[in-house]
Structure 1
Amino acid sequence: MSNIELLAPSGNTDSFLAAVSAGADAVYVGLKDFSARAKAKNFSYKQLNEICSYAHQKNVKIFVALNTLIKNSELKDVMKSLEQISLSQADAIIVQDLGVAYLSKKYFPDIKLHASTQLTIHNSYGAIQAKQMGFERAVLARELSFDEIKNIKNKSNIELEIFCHGALCFCVSGLCLFSSFIGGYSGNRGRCTQPCRRLWTVDGEKGYFLSPKDFQLADYIKQIKETGVTSLKIEGRLKSADYVAKTVKAYRLLIDSNETNYEQNLEQAKDLLSLDYARQKTTFNFNIKSEDIFEPQKSKNIGLYLGIVENKTDTIFSLNTKTDLLTGDTVRIVDNKKDRSVVLKIEISDKKDNGYKIQYKDLYLENGFEVYKIADAEQQRYGGIEERNDRNDKGEYTKITKSFNILSVQPLNKVSLPDLFIRINNVKWIPLLKNAKADTIIKLSKENLDIIKNFLSQKSINDLYFELPPYIEEQDIKVYENFINLAADKKYNKFFINNISQIYMFKDKKSSLYAGQYLYTLNNYSAEFLSEYKINAFVSSWEDDLFNIKDLSKNLKNNLIVYLSGFPEIVISKMKFVPDIRNKNIKSDKDEFKIVSNKDNIIIPKYPVNLLAFKNNLLKAGIKSFAIDLSYIDPNVNYLTQVIKVFNNNVYMSSANKFNFERKLK
């Protein structure tokens, strides 16, 4: 069996040392900014230099997660981070934002690029395209099966990294706007507030309907090694050093196994993993498409259930449990009625036959609160890291070796865009659009392709564009390519694309390409990079704000399209939801959404986003092209007439649903 890298998470120095001590081949870490785990403690520049030096002495690699979307105003700070990463001699950066990849390639060619799972690489075309864009490794989407991973490996020559253990996002990574929609805290920018772990209500029943089990592939390491995958990745930069040590030891055992000791080591590894104090486990789609991913009526909380708080006083409570506990163990204490919890490192004041008396202070507890063990007492120290003194007080190299003028963006070719696009996913809208004075975008899906093919063979429509979905499974690539060829035969060759794999799909075609909302363009350099691949115009993300769009418009005003109305797809999930919530409304105390269940599960807001009142602000900023999305709205001539009147400033339509437009994207 082939060699394979074991890649461990680290959110702080303790977990880094635990990973190295337990046998990780590589460790991925985040800096204080631009990390998809902003809530982790993360590393300063000084600490990065120190851990890189320490790791390289131990023959361990360091990958830095610079894997968030970047606004224009943040580019100078990103350049500073890239410089410090380069000078620290980290082994690679993990990137989502194509503008960051572009700047790194241009100014720091010594830094190796890894394509983050946030780039949603999920088929062989995506892997091939990532390689052509300068990435040395692709971190594949967690939705993939073993056969899909093997197929991608056989068809591409890029290094592949897959997750083998840890928490799952219920939305496809890189496509989630859920946290951003609720409060402006974007998962694409490392600030996810985990709405999927909330208590939700459907038809009066409460449950953790969107909270999946954790991922575990311990039973399949032998098969994975035979595929030629480069790296096995453990999720968990927010987890403790104890978690990191146990999971790394377990997968180290499995990777190093041979035919004579594999079964014995598998049993030992699974014993270790049973003590990771995480959620119940699933293999998701890896083996077969699992229908057992969610347990709505079980607590979202991770850890080993110990019991409940009893006999509470102001400073002490009783815990009746058969589990052995030590002072220094960490527990999570949960108030299920109010869906909140606190973490306590316990101090045992007394041990009884039936449990323990535990001290606490400055915490709100009540009898009946549930108690879960989430980490063992730290009984092992992993050593220390020697400080280096060749940095200034901020941990930066005192000698700056480069200077940059990052405002020097290459002007893009001006493209002819209509004043208004109207996007639909139902061809029954088309007869109603005749007098709308707008170009039409039809959103494609596997479910509507045949209907649209039939429509094309019967009708002729001027100014028609098609939009590809952000996730096209390997077995469906040819289906979409056949449609593209058919459309070209009918002289329709304008396409909005939403994934880098689709750049490769059009490599030999004379089509006009436009970047959709999931091929994110939050800064000028993302647009500049994409323009090298013949992408002519860029749709601003639903989650972007007025301030960043105005900033973008200084250079992209002739190439930028802004949606003013519609139902954004804030979640696209490949998980099979429990039947009780499919095609239902799902509510929390403050929010309500619709679940649309077809081949995928899609979540949209209950009410459409309406930014029509901001059209004049955007016109003043130089934006010339706008769009209205009629997807998820039944064809209705009265609604269409009203929204067109509002667009033309003939009628005013107020809206409380503006997404991040005014409050700013965080």
Structure 2
Amino acid sequence: MTSEKTALDTKKSPKKPEILSPAGNQESFLAALAAGADAVYCGLKDFNARMAADNFTIGEMARLTRLAHEHGKRVYVALNTLIKPDELADAGKLADQLCRHVRPDALIIQDPAMVAIAGQAGFKGELHLSTMANVSFPAALDVVRALPSVSRVVLPREFSIDEIKAAAENCPDELSLEVFVHGALCYGVSGRCYWSSFLGGKSGLRGSCVQPCRRIYNQGKNRSRFFSCQDLWLDVLTKLLLEVPAVSGLKIEGRKKGPHYVYYTTAAYKMLRDHPGDSAARKTALSFLDQALGRKPTHYRFLPQRPWNPVDIDTQTGSGMLIGKVQGPKTKPYMDPRDALLPGDLLRIGYEDQSWHRTLRIARHVPKKGRFYLNLTEKERPANDTPVFLIDRREPELTAEIKPFADRLETLPEIGASPSRFQTRLPAKTLHRHPVVEMGLQRELPEEMPASANTGIWLSPEMKPGKLPLTNRIWWWLPPVVWPDAEAGLRAAVTAAVDKGFKQFVLNSPWQMALFPPKKGLRIWAGPFCNIANALAMETLASMGFSGVIVSPELGKNDYTHLPARAPLPLGIVIYGNWPLCISRVKAESMAEQSLFKSPRGEHAWVARMDDNYWVFPDWAVDLTGHGQTLENLGYRVFVHMHEPLPAGVHLKKRPGKWNWDHGLK
């Protein structure tokens, strides 16, 4: 009775959600503490989804965590990347060192293997499921609850306040929710973008994204940044989240940002949380956000009655604050800054995706509209009207705020992280007797079933599975992303298929298990969009009731070779087909669907609407058919051929199509 009353009292008087601030280097970490963050999240040199940030060693992380704990602040370490089969040992050693030397309050994870690794290493803190894990519909939380030690889920940035409330209403008592309130937006849905990996193995799932969505593309006579998003700013709308008890964290994106950004965004959202009805605090908070050197703001989809497309080709989306433009003669270029420049300010000339862009550190004060000559050679000099951005600032006031924390950090002893002898326990080798299956995957219901071939069919809420004859050669594929408003319809379609007697299904996120009625005899496989790449992740899926795994298509030859040795489940692979560059919930209004666009390097792709999402397809197919026999000999048993309808006049280019087979996944 007492525990029930406590739970009810908590619902009536919810605790304020914590302000969760990013830190990619020591100065940013100290800035978060100085601004009053409740928690700081950061990454190590390996296994985190912002590898381009400076990040921390174990020793550095240990000292900073001790400092944070002295001030009653929490520290979360991101180990939120896809883990390759040969990295399980290193991931285990890293988890062991975190347990022994750092003792963070939580680990942020994407790969199901990290649940097992954290348990084996004896980690006593919380596990938070990253937004990369794509928990995108309310019922999914019932499945997440069963994962040991997982206590928080980071929701997709695409959610509206109504969708957040729907998730909260379905959130088990053992879980809480974390919501992004500020920072950069990816065009692709988190965990469903492979664009960077297509360009040479630098995977967004591995923290190495080269941001192809920020580049200029051509479609017909239009030339623009069709996929580059403005930043998310919930600013005053944050007060709506304070009414949702299950929301325990308000997250600021930006582990690649400097201390100026971290301090001002943290201080702003702390004011907006603590004084939501105070007009003076609101005004100050908004002025802080204006000073934080981010992109132009958007509320994105947060207000369902007023959705805001974050892709606006008429708005500049370079990171930093536009401070001026290049002017003057070829031999002596200059700019007249729109605001005063301070000693230590860092400027970027041009956009990040332009290979020639330059950064300059300001050595002296420059008044507003005061002429500042750019120290560039004629060879480096960009064209007039090239934008110049202020991307970092080190004002004396901020230095003074950080100094007490920096001084205390200097008094803490250096922590030498001893090498780890920890050995990750892997699943025992299992003999699988699954027959070899060649499967064609398609969008439409076939008019008649082929005599012998297996057929995969994408299942959607509008589809009527009962129209097909019952056969064990049909595999129903669930979509890679299920948004809350599609949950009921897809559940009904799944139930109709199960009631008809179909038994074979492919799920493209593990949490889609929540859509199935309890029934024995189903053969449920994890699909390729689950991004499974190691044996421990497979072991977790086996415990959830999966019968097999179609592995991540991003992997290289060595990864595919190593996987079968310890696989606790039968394996499948996408051996041919139209794999998407990414899947998004939005599209630029000026981007025509079913029409080719061209990249700066002459590569072509198109956008197609599929149910509630936009898929971006390259005009060439993944093709590992030349290695089919090798893969079968290694132990792969299900070979998937993906077929997508081509736009009128489009023909797939003849390319090797090996993706990362030869050079491997970075």
2:82 is equivalent to residue 69 of structure 1: yes
Q: What is the alpha-carbon distance in structure 2 between the residues aligned to residue 557 and residue 440 of structure 1?
A: 25
Q: What is the alpha-carbon distance in structure 1 between the residues aligned to residue 655 and residue 124 of structure 2?
A: 49
Residues 109 and 319 of structure 1: is their aligned pair in 2 closer, same or farther, counting only changes over 3 Å?
A: closer
Partner of 1:577: 588
Provide, for residues 326-382 of structure 1, a one-character-per-residue CA deviation record: whole Å limited to 9, x for no partner: 222121101799575222212348769653335468992235132122222332321
Name which of 597, 607, 614 aligns with 1:595: 607
Instruction: State the AA in 2 paired with 1:140.
Output: L
Q: Is the 8 A contact 1:46 1:391 kept in 2?
A: yes
Which stretch shows the higher mean deviation, 557-566 or 267-276?
Answer: 557-566
Residues 542 and 405 of structure 1: is their aligned pair in 2 closer, same or farther, counting only changes over 3 Å?
A: closer
2:477 is equivalent to residue 499 of structure 1: no
Partner of 2:282: 266
Instruction: State the AA in 2 paired with 1:100.
Output: M
Provide, for residues 435-478 of structure 1, a one-character-per-residue CA deviation record: whole Å limited to 9, x for no partner: 4x4211111234xx33x43623xx34442110111222223222
2:297 is equivalent to residue 281 of structure 1: yes
Q: What is the alpha-carbon distance in structure 2 between the residues aligned to residue 313 and residue 348 of structure 1?
A: 24
TM-score, structure 2 as length reference: 0.90
Partner of 2:418: 397
2:336 is equivalent to residue 323 of structure 1: no
Shift in Å at residue 246 of structure 1?
Answer: 0.5
Q: What is the alpha-carbon distance in structure 1 between the residues aligned to residue 54 and residue 293 of structure 2?
A: 20
Pairing of 1:258-657 with structure 2 (within 5 A): 259=277, 262-288=278-304, 290-311=307-328, 317-334=333-350, 340-348=356-364, 354-359=370-375, 364-368=380-384, 369-379=386-396, 380-381=398-399, 382-383=402-403, 384=406, 385-386=409-410, 389=413, 391-392=415-416, 396-397=417-418, 403-406=422-425, 408-412=426-430, 414=432, 416-428=434-446, 431=448, 434-435=450-451, 437-446=452-461, 449-450=462-463, 452-453=464-465, 455-456=467-468, 459-506=469-516, 508-510=518-520, 511-556=522-567, 559-590=570-601, 591-598=603-610, 599-632=612-645, 655-657=655-657
Q: Is the 8 A contact 2:21 2:252 kept in 1?
A: yes
Aligned pair count reads 634
Question: SS state of the match for residue 125, structure 2?
Answer: coil
Shift in Å at residue 613 of structure 1?
Answer: 0.6
Partner of 1:234: 252
Q: Is the 8 A contact 1:440 1:465 kept in 2?
A: yes
Instruction: State the AA in 1 paired with 2:295.
Output: R
Q: What is the alpha-carbon distance in structure 2 between the residues aligned to residue 557 and residue 159 of structure 1?
A: 31
Residues 480 and 375 of structure 1: is their aligned pair in 2 closer, same or farther, counting only changes over 3 Å?
A: same
Q: Is the 8 A contact 2:429 2:565 kept in 1?
A: no
Instruction: State the AA in 2 paired with 1:81.
Output: L
Question: SS state of the match for residue 624, structure 1?
Answer: strand
Provide, for residues 239-284 of structure 1, a one-character-per-residue CA deviation record: whole Å limited to 9, x for no partner: 111000110010011111154xx22211111111011221111111
Q: Is the 8 A contact 1:24 1:60 kept in 2?
A: yes
Residues 588 and 340 of structure 1: is their aligned pair in 2 closer, same or farther, counting only changes over 3 Å?
A: farther
Which stretch shows the higher mean deviation, 321-330 or 160-169?
Answer: 321-330
TM-score, structure 1 as length reference: 0.90
Partner of 1:248: 266
Q: Is the 8 A contact 2:309 2:588 kept in 1?
A: no
Q: What is the alpha-carbon distance in structure 1 between the residues aligned to residue 83 and residue 54 of structure 2?
A: 20
Shift in Å at residue 481 of structure 1?
Answer: 1.9
Q: Is the 8 A contact 2:195 2:581 kept in 1?
A: yes
Instruction: State the AA in 2 paired with 1:99.
Output: A
Q: Is the 8 A contact 1:208 1:298 kept in 2?
A: no
Q: Is the 8 A contact 2:323 2:389 kept in 1?
A: yes
Partner of 2:25: 12
Q: Is the 8 A contact 2:539 2:568 kept in 1?
A: no
Residues 507 and 527 of structure 1: is their aligned pair in 2 closer, same or farther, counting only changes over 3 Å?
A: farther
Which stretch shows the higher mean deviation, 163-172 or 145-154?
Answer: 145-154
Shift in Å at residue 593 of structure 1?
Answer: 1.1
Name which of 148, 151, 169 aligns with 1:136: 151
Q: What is the alpha-carbon distance in structure 1 between the residues aligned to residue 560 and residue 340 of structure 2?
A: 56
Instruction: State the AA in 1 paired with 2:502.
Output: Y
Q: Is the 8 A contact 2:456 2:476 kept in 1?
A: yes
2:65 is equivalent to residue 47 of structure 1: no
Shift in Å at residue 184 of structure 1?
Answer: 1.2
Q: What is the alpha-carbon distance in structure 2 between the residues aligned to residue 557 and residue 204 of structure 1?
A: 52
